[in-house]
Amino acid sequence: MTAFLIGNFMLNGTVGVLLYLLITKKKKIFADRYGMVVAMCGSGVLSLHLAMLTVFLIPDYFIIQVLFALGIGAFIGKKFGSLMKYQSLLSGLFHGIIGGIMGMMLGIVILNPSLCGLPSASLNSLQDNMLIFTVFGTILVIMTGSLLYYSLKV
């Protein structure tokens, strides 16, 4: 399970880096509003999924999770936001940090469903839930990446 999670983390990081490089190549065509939309979409979904994987990988130390997830979110938001002008940096940073906090909340609730008043899961279904959410998050990241890449051509 740990190997699968680490592999998924690296896969999503690769998708993010690839998306960043593809968008950087064409940043001459950006308008102001388009930069804001790209910063919102890319940093939101990527930091959400990476923060959820962080909670799955390091389930015991809360403060390390917070620092790591929020650091990743702020870094991704800064990178995607400062593509065009420094105005869209605010939007990118905000959505990156919000995505990191939401991903942490989602991961913690999946690991311990009785926190929300849901019936608590056994060990088997816990691993099933982690698997399903990891695959679903990967699908969302790849879908968002392909939508953003398609938006360069429209």
Q: Name the minimum Å distance from CB 4 to another protein.
A: 17
Structure tokens at 36: 């804001």
Alpha helix segments (H runs only) across the chain: 2-25, 32-57, 62-81, 88-111, 123-151
CB–CB of 91/81 below 8 Å? yes
User: Taking CB under 8 A as the rule, does residue 151 contact another protein?
Assistant: yes
Q: Whole-number minimum distance, CB 28 to another protein, in Å?
A: 17
Smallest gap from Cβ 44 to another protein, in A, equals 5
Using CB under 8 A as the binding rule, whether residue 118 contacts another protein is answered as: yes
- Virtual torsion, Cα 104, 98, 21, 4, nearest 10 deg: 10
Q: Measuring CA to CA, which residue among 36, 3, 34, 8 is closest to residue 133?
A: 8
Per-residue contact track with another protein, 72 to 111, x per CB under 8 A?
A: --------------------------xx--x--xx--x--
- Binding residues for another protein, rule: CB under 8 A, are 33-34, 37, 40-41, 44-45, 48, 98-99, 102, 105-106, 109, 113, 116-119, 129, 132-133, 136, 140, 144, 147-148, 151, 154
